[in-house]
Amino acid sequence: MMKNVEHIGIAVNELEKAEELFSTLFNIMPYKRENIASQGVITSFFRINQTKIELLEATGPDSVIAKFIEKKGEGFHHLAFEVDDIQLEMERLKKEGFTLLSEAPVIGADNKLVCFLHPKSTNGMLIELCQEIKS
């Protein structure tokens, strides 16, 4: 089951500039940056109570973020939902006909196991599922 919005992903050209803008907008500082080499992104996180904002900068021209910005410009990129059991949710969604972008969950940012659903199967919205990695 989807529990809550875990974060909102925003594609940006320059992380530093975007951090300044969102720090002013939210009147708080980002709490962490994290480089996710497997995704070709460097992320910066803000937390507003239960809501997290994830800024995403491409680390190279082959990054999905570079391709996204080239095509659609900066802005809203994906909506991430927290789940308790990502494997179970992936099986359910696959059975329901949604297109999963990986066979198994992958390591994401902020200590999560993640997977993505293709926007073509979700009314044009890139959806991410996140499960906390229990230490």
Interface with Co ion, residue 58, by CB under 5 A: no
Distance between CA atoms of residues 118 and 128, nearest Å: 9
The structure tokens listed for 119 are: 């926007």
Interface with Co ion, residue 80, by CB under 5 A: yes
Distance between CA atoms of residues 73 and 111, nearest Å: 28
Interface with ligand LZKTLF4L, residue 101, by CB under 6 A: yes
Distance between CA atoms of residues 27 and 115, nearest Å: 31
Residues that bind ligand LZKTLF4L (CB under 6 A): 9, 36, 39, 41, 43, 54, 56, 64-65, 67-68, 71, 77-78, 80, 101, 108-109, 112, 114, 116, 118-119, 124, 126, 128
Contact residues toward Co ion (CB under 5 A) are 9, 54, 80, 128
